[in-house]
Structures are given as structure tokens and as C-alpha cells.
Amino acid sequence: MNDDCLKNKNQRVEKNKRTFCGLGTVNQIEIDSDNTLAMDLAISRIAQLELLLSPFLPQSDIYRINEAAGLKPTKIKKETMKLLKESVGLSNKFMGTFDINVRPLVELWKIKKGNRAIPTQNQIKQARELVNVSDLILDETNQTVFLKRAGQALDLGGIAKGYAADEAKRVLEGKGITSALINLGGNIVALGKNTEKEQWKIGIQNPLKPTGIHFGVLHVNDCTVVTSGSNEQFFIKDGRRYHHIINPKTGEPAESGLLSVTVVAQSSLLADALATAMFVAGLEAGYELAKLYEIEAIFVTEGADVIVTNGLQNRFEWINP
């Protein structure tokens, strides 16, 4: 795994805690024992998923599907098919807020690459027309996937870390680990309780402050905590915050009145997709989605209001008021 992302970080090497690069971000896994095999297996599982799902690696299924858009169906692995089926199911249920076909718009805005230029309305319109989940043809008999039109492309950025976190947990549990904290670039899975047999404390990022400044803490065990926010990757121009979560309907960075959404749930895949979708949907529709999927959430609005769903009231603690 390429560990360039850690170049400027002070890394402590500990047997039961590892920091590593992958899925385009910095990850950390902490376990309650020095079971290096379990740790190695969990980390290589994440690397394996990156090789399968990254839109940047030429050998990945997603890269090959994107390259063949408008040309021909691409043979893919069973696991990719399963994940794509699930992602399409979610794209269909989330009322146009979440779409794994969003890549033409992600490419246009290039916010991840530090671009600060705003595309023209015409460019946005053209890219938006390419984003259509019904143009993705999944053929399970032949195990192929086809994007109907040239220029269309998949982007699992809104779901891959969640899925990988679920998988890392599964691998650790398979090796007998009962206590772990998996953090894949902010997608957190808390397995069991911590070494002091207490609930894990998960800091919730203040979206108006630099990374690492929290406004609250969640006390949790055996669940996932996933945040989507406009503070991750963004630039501000003429008072507007241009960030990396796109509203597929407008083709522009979502302006839903929210700064961040944190989801607490069982499945990290669902939580990852939901956090992105709820961020795009805004407070009211996002709250409805939380009820529908029976998950808990914390919303931070542009007016700095914090809304915590009922199920989290006893688990949420304010800090730095």
C-alpha cells in the first residue's frame, strides 16, 4: 500500500494500533490485543477492496467499467456486482439525492483535486444529463456491467469506505477480535467496548472548525458512526461554499442548509450512503430518511443549530460549548 499520505504525520508504531493509507484517505485500526494476523488481514482486505473499487486504478472493476462506457459490457467480479446492485437499490430509494453514476459531475467540479474554477451552466447541464442510474445495466447472468453512454462513469466514493469498514470488522471478528475501533477516513465502526470495558468515545467534528475540533462526543459500542460534511473538501468563492457532495438534480455542490450529517447505525455501508443522501436532502427530508431507515443522526445546520435524534440523547455529550 502506498503510504505517501502519512509523510508528514508523526506516526507511533504500536502493535494494537495501526495507521495506514488506503481508499484515498488516512485510516486507523485499533484492537484490544496484539493479534498481528487479525490486523494484517483487516488491512489487506481494505487494500483488496481499493483494487476492486477505485476509479483511479486501471485494474479495478470500476475503472474498467468507466473506460468501456458507451462501448461494451465489462466482466466484473461477483463482489463488485453485489455491491453495485446494493448501491443501485439505494440510489433508487434515496429520491435522487444519492447516485453512484455521479462521476461526470465529480470530474467536472474536480474539488478533490483542488480546482477552484466554477464550471459553466452549459458544462453542468451536459454532465448532469450523463448522471442517470437507469443507464447502468447489470447483467447477472453474464456477470457484466455496462454504462450505456460514452462519458458516463461510476463513483463509489459515497459508499466504499462504509462497505470497507464493515468488511474490516467482519475480518477482525473472524479472527476472534471482540473489541476494535476502525476508522476509515472518518467512517467509524466501533466493535464491542474499549480496553477499559467502557463505551468508545467518538468525537463529532465541528464543521466550522479545523479538522479535529469536536463539538460533541458520542458514547457508543457495536455500531457505526459516519459523517458527511461540506468541510471535508471545499473552497469558498463569493460567500458560497463549494464542496465535494453533489446534488445530482442541480449538478452543483449541494446547498441544503446543512453543514454536516452524522449517522449512527449498524451497517456502515448504509450509514455512508445515507449520510451523503441526507446531507443532500436537507434537514426535513433527511430526518424522514432517518426515521424510515430506523437510524439515529446528528444534523448541523448552516445556522449552527445542532439537531440530535431521540435515540442518541443519552449517548451524546456536548463539549467546547
Q: Specify the amino acid at residue 270.
A: L
How many CA atoms within 13 Å lie on the side-chain side of 293? 26
50 sits near ligand ADP (criterion: CB under 6 A):
no
Among 167, 252, 272, 296, binds Mg ion (CB under 5 A): 272
Q: How near is the Cβ of 158 to Mg ion at its closest, in Å?
A: 4
**If binding means CB under 6 A, how many residues of this protein chain bind ligand ADP?**
21
Nearer to ligand ADP, 179 or 268 (CB): 268
Nearer to ligand ADP, 186 or 286 (CB): 186
Kindly indicate which of the ranges 32-40, 88-96, 275-283, 292-300 contains the residues binding Mg ion, using the contact rule CB under 5 A. 275-283
Q: How near is the Cβ of 189 to Mg ion at its closest, in Å?
A: 14
109 sits near ligand ADP (criterion: CB under 6 A):
no
Cβ-based neighbours of 63, under 8 Å, separated by 6 or more: 54, 55, 56, 57
Q: What is the 3-state secondary structure (H, E, C) of the chain?
A: CCCHHHCCCCCCCECCEEEEEECCEEEEEEECCCCHHHHHHHHHHHHHHHHHHCCCCCCCHHHHHHHCCCCCCEECCHHHHHHHHHHHHHHHHCCCCCCCCCHHHHHHHCHHHCCCCCCCHHHHHHHHHHCCHHHEEEECCCCEEEECCCCCCCCCCCCHHHHHHHHHHHHHHHCCCCCEEEEECCEEEEECCCCCCCCEEEEEECCCCCCCCEEEEEEECCEEEEEEECCCCEEEECCEEEECCEECCCCEECCCCEEEEEEEECCHHHHHHHHHHHHHHCHHHHHHHHHHCCCEEEEEECCCCEEECHHHCCCEEECCC
Contact pattern for ligand ADP over residues 240 through 279, marking x by CB under 6 A: ----xxx-x-----------------------x--xx---
Inter-helix orientation angle 268-281/78-93, to 10°: 30
Among 157, 192, 216, 282, binds ligand ADP (CB under 6 A): 157
282 sits near ligand ADP (criterion: CB under 6 A):
no
104 sits near ligand ADP (criterion: CB under 6 A):
no
Among 106, 181, 191, 295, binds ligand ADP (CB under 6 A): 106
Query: What's the distance, CA 130 to chain centroid?
Result: 22
Contact pattern for ligand ADP over residues 180 through 219, marking x by CB under 6 A: -----xx---------------------------------
Phi, psi of 233 (to 5 degrees): -140, 115
Report whether 39 contacts 45 (CB < 8 A): no
276 sits near Mg ion (criterion: CB under 5 A):
yes
Nearer to ligand ADP, 38 or 155 (CB): 155
Among 74, 183, 228, 260, binds ligand ADP (CB under 6 A): 228
98 sits near ligand ADP (criterion: CB under 6 A):
yes
Residue 248 binding: pick among Mg ion, ligand ADP, none (C-beta 5-8 Å cut-off by kind): ligand ADP
Residue 289 binding: pick among ligand ADP, Mg ion, none (C-beta 5-8 Å cut-off by kind): none
Q: How near is the Cβ of 134 to ligand ADP at its closest, in Å?
A: 15
Q: How near is the Cβ of 275 to Mg ion at its closest, in Å?
A: 5
Nearer to ligand ADP, 245 or 297 (CB): 245
Residues forming contacts to ligand ADP in the complex (CB under 6 A) are 98-100, 102, 106, 112, 155, 157-158, 185-186, 228, 232, 244-246, 248, 272, 275-276, 280
